Structure 1
Amino acid sequence: MTARVREFNLFLQDYVNLNQTRIKTLQTRVSNLDDFLLEDSTLADVIEDGLVPQGSFAHKTIIRPFTGNDFDADVLLPMEEQEDWEPKKYTVELQKALEASSRYEEKTILKTRCVTVNYAGDFHIDVVPFITRADGSTYITHRTNNEFLRCDPKAFTSWIEEQARATNGHLIRVIRLVKYLRDRSSIQTPSVVLAALLAERVRSFAGVDDYTNVATTLVSLVEGLHEYIGSMTSKPWVDDRIGQNLADRLTESGFKNLQSQVKTWAGKMRTALDADAAESVEKWQSVFGDNFGAAKKESLVLAGAALETYEKRVAPGEQRLPEDFGIPIRLDPKHRIRVVGRAAATTRAGGRFRQISARGNHVRIGRKLRFTVEDCTVEKPYDVYWKVRNAGEEAANLNDFRGEIRQSGDSITETSTFAGNHWVQAWAVKDDVAVATSIQDVTIVPS
């Protein structure tokens, strides 16, 4: 078995992932739009909360656009239900509010379920009115049918995040890779359906080796998907996490194409993973094309550059439990903990703290953050050791990667100070051995 970790990392970086400049621009545009709607728009009085990332933007599975296509960010706009408004009025009033601004004038398109804001370049933002009705259920609106549509994208995003944790984060990379393959094939499966089908294949009780790296996770999930849909004679049930079938978005012929393609991918991927080192790159190229294993020159330069951002790698001065505290890590499958991050709604830390997983772990700068150990199955007494790690260009420029470990209680507080992909990790230490751990990712977006 040859995992080809380096080749997968470079292939994702060069050909699959949306580059960091585009991501930062997108995050900044969403932040600016959020500020306008909350503070300066004619809708400010009926808006309940800031924009909530959803879909690929929330799940961090946006990929580089295929030839001739652009990319987009979907965001929810939480609005108070208005007794005298028909469902169709929410999108109409949203467009009016945007068009009343010189910043967004003549940049919007009124669509069935959203208002699209177009920007120069190759991306746009779809703003979806999101209503919590009197019974507590959440809805979006369908303008042409003039009706409310039951949905809960926050619940779906939280579920994707939980499944990603179980795969050491590799589920997100697998979804990107499969979307890359989809865009270059004959299948037309919506991204949300692909994401759900792959996430459903995650086994929280799986052996450690299943999700050790991108290659093993990819093969495990795609083979699992083939085993699940391969013999089906009609479309499957794909839960949207509130009991509705996402597969309704597939045609029967589209599902048959997906079945066939997944079977082909699963066979080729298994062959590539099992190949010896001398043949593995060529076998993976039969799946992803000749660009796999052919890193761009600028990527190799960046890999050796002095400005190292330490994304999920040990940073200078970062502490480790065994080396710095003499605490061995022996994770026990019967023990688990879960770190849950919550953020204040405003810079003034007013109102309740909101769980960040429902927002794709996106947090604005200047928010108070609280991290809590929950769902712990380790019998008391035990100690909790915490690590906060910064990453990204701003952390590198400030030389502020952190990474110190400290013993504390079941919760810690922090502040979102600068942009980047950061994370918080906790260990439950029983009898001087770390028996369980959990990581909460935190994406702090630029203002």
Structure 2
Amino acid sequence: MNAMFNCHTALNVFYQQDVRLGPKLRTRLKVSRKACLGHVKEGLRRLGHPVYERVCIQGSYVMHTLNQHPNGEFDIDVAVIFKKEDLPKSPLRARQRVAAAMRASGVRFATMPLARLNAVTVWYSDHHHVDLAVYRESTSFWGKPVLEHASSEWTVRDPVEVTRWFKKEDKRLSPKLDDGAIVEPGQFRRVVRLIKMFTRSRLYWDLPGGLIISTLVAEVYEPAPERDDVALYNTLVRLQKRLRGSYDVKSPVDASSLTRRDKNERQVRDLLARLDDILPRLAILFDPLCMEPRALRAWWFVFRHDYWLKRARTAELASLNQSQNLRIQVGVGDSSSGPFTLYHPSHGPIPKGAHVRFALRKRLGVESPFTCHWKVQNRGSEAQAARDLAHDAVGPEPFFLQEAKYTGRHTVSFELIKDGRVVARGARNLSVAAP
């Protein structure tokens, strides 16, 4: 297989500029989180209930996998941990108490806080929301702390175990600078975030959430010590193969099924359908004639983000403005091995059956590797009868051999491609006649 077109730099600019939250947005979400916890505390006091003992930040915010969102729909997960004796025995009642405390805090909410199955959700007017997972803490017979999550029942769970697992995987799986990697540390985390960006790239999609995506990527991630775009592509290919084998996804911390609910399994099934759609679009990246604008448009289809279209249009303009026009030199010989005599139109038509060598009249100061794309356009009844009105050839050498098979007027053109850009163009017309 040909080498994959290099979009590492473009992908990293996209990641830094349009995927990561950035310090300002992270600070704004942190302020919202602290305010939300303050409202819970104030509401509990007003209702005469004990306040929580401590909090634990969970989910994508603390794992640094929370991405930018065009509508600001950010999800912040926080565990609020109470003493066991300070909460109702019923997990539903415990969640309802926290929701009631938010309503009693005196803050006016656009949507009232709601006690859902696994958390109390607080929505904000700018579309982001905070999920407050309610926990109770006690001490075991052996004197060790026990944390239980208020879901459909009290379930023993450590609120930081997923975060701990993810950070360990990122350190274990990402290419290491000490091993010769030239990419920035944390490639695994970047690939997770980029795949999450893909799954949220169409508003009408309903694909798996962050934990399922992170778990799947940890299973199939393929590091690339020199390029993030290669790591992303190879991981997507392996993810497609993995899902063709099974839709079941196991929790990385307790081996329970994350897809036991029909909704979650359907989301995973739909993810495979989306991969089946986008991966063929990336095949152009392995075409030796792939140029930068086409490569960038291929990645646009993955992410559907304006960044890629703007960069593709800029590359198209640069290619047109920077390419040089060169003349093609023509040599005619009796065989493909030559010798070739320099041809000029004043010499008359080239005899049919002769061998023609096309070459650049002068060499550019372009270092290899580069690609020469030669195109032949044939005219006349003979070429039409042979169904050979056009063909092309690709190679690293700035010359091209062709037999004059058909009488008529023909055109040979070329493009010299370097780093995905056309740096030189040329064309030559010639006539072929019966000898």
TM-score normalised to the size of structure 1? 0.55
Structure-1 residue corresponding to 2:15: 12
- 1:114 is displaced (CA, Å) by 2.2
Does structure 1 residue 182 correspond to structure 2 residue 199?
Answer: yes
Q: Which amino acid aligns with 2:114?
A: L
Q: Which amino acid aligns with 2:80?
A: L
Structure-2 residue corresponding to 1:291: 306
Answer yes or no: is the 8 Å Cα contact 1:182–1:188 preserved in 2: yes
Task: Give the secondary-structure state (helix, strand or coil) at the position aligned to 1:122.
Answer: coil
Answer yes or no: is the 8 Å Cα contact 1:238–1:245 preserved in 2: yes
Q: Structure 1 residues 274, 250: closer, same or farther in 2, change over 3 A? A: farther
TM-score normalised to the size of structure 2? 0.56
- 1:40 is displaced (CA, Å) by 8.4
1:171 aligned to which of 184, 188, 197: 188
Task: Give the secondary-structure state (helix, strand or coil) at the position aligned to 1:116.
Answer: strand
Q: Structure 1 residues 119, 131: closer, same or farther in 2, change over 3 A? A: same
1:196 aligned to which of 194, 210, 215: 215
Does structure 1 residue 70 correspond to structure 2 residue 73?
Answer: yes
Answer yes or no: is the 8 Å Cα contact 1:230–1:263 preserved in 2: no
Answer yes or no: is the 8 Å Cα contact 1:116–1:125 preserved in 2: yes
Which residues of structure 2 form unaligned runs of 5+? 175-184, 312-435
Q: Structure 1 residues 122, 256: closer, same or farther in 2, change over 3 A? A: closer
1:114 aligned to which of 111, 114, 119: 119
Task: Give the secondary-structure state (helix, strand or coil) at the position aligned to 1:85.
Answer: coil
Identical-pair percentage = 19
Task: Give the secondary-structure state (helix, strand or coil) at the position aligned to 2:134.
Answer: strand
Higher Rg: 2
Structure-2 residue corresponding to 1:139: 148
- 1:45 is displaced (CA, Å) by 4.2
Structure-2 residue corresponding to 1:220: 234
Structure-2 residue corresponding to 1:156: 162
Answer yes or no: is the 8 Å Cα contact 2:39–2:107 preserved in 1: no
Q: Structure 1 residues 241, 290: closer, same or farther in 2, change over 3 A? A: closer
Deviations 1:97-128 (A, max 9, x none): 33332346786412223222233322121211
Q: Structure 1 residues 250, 84: closer, same or farther in 2, change over 3 A? A: closer
Answer yes or no: is the 8 Å Cα contact 2:67–2:193 preserved in 1: yes
Structure-2 residue corresponding to 1:282: 297
Structure-2 residue corresponding to 1:262: 275
Answer yes or no: is the 8 Å Cα contact 1:152–1:242 preserved in 2: no
> 2-side partners of 1:253 and 1:97: how far apart?
36
Structure-1 residue corresponding to 2:54: 49
Q: Which amino acid aligns with 1:172?
A: R
> 2-side partners of 1:273 and 1:59: how far apart?
34
Which residues of structure 1 form unaligned runs of 5+? 297-447
Structure-1 residue corresponding to 2:83: 80
Deviations 1:115-162 (A, max 9, x none): 2223332212121112345445533213xx5x2244434111111112
Q: Does 1 or 2 have the higher relative contact order (CA < 8 Å, sep 6+)?
A: 1
Q: Which amino acid aligns with 1:281?
A: L
Q: Structure 1 residues 155, 63: closer, same or farther in 2, change over 3 A? A: same
What CA RMSD, in Å, does the superposition of the two structures yield over aligned residues?
3.4
Structure-2 residue corresponding to 1:98: 102
Q: Which amino acid aligns with 1:179?
A: K
- 1:75 is displaced (CA, Å) by 1.0
> 2-side partners of 1:238 and 1:85: how far apart?
30
- 1:289 is displaced (CA, Å) by 3.7
Q: Structure 1 residues 33, 119: closer, same or farther in 2, change over 3 A? A: same
> 2-side partners of 1:212 and 1:38: how far apart?
49
Answer yes or no: is the 8 Å Cα contact 2:110–2:123 preserved in 1: no
> 1-side partners of 2:250 and 2:208: how far apart?
13
Task: Give the secondary-structure state (helix, strand or coil) at the position aligned to 1:247.
Answer: coil
Q: Structure 1 residues 283, 110: closer, same or farther in 2, change over 3 A? A: closer
1:395-434 equivalences in 2 (<5 Å): none
Q: Which amino acid aligns with 1:246?
A: L
Task: Give the secondary-structure state (helix, strand or coil) at the position aligned to 1:228.
Answer: helix
> 2-side partners of 1:263 and 1:117: how far apart?
36
> 2-side partners of 1:10 and 1:295: how far apart?
13
Q: Structure 1 residues 53, 217: closer, same or farther in 2, change over 3 A? A: farther
Between Structure 1 and Structure 2, how many residues are aligned?
284
Answer yes or no: is the 8 Å Cα contact 1:139–1:149 preserved in 2: yes
Answer yes or no: is the 8 Å Cα contact 2:120–2:133 preserved in 1: yes
Structure-1 residue corresponding to 2:363: none
Q: Structure 1 residues 37, 256: closer, same or farther in 2, change over 3 A? A: closer
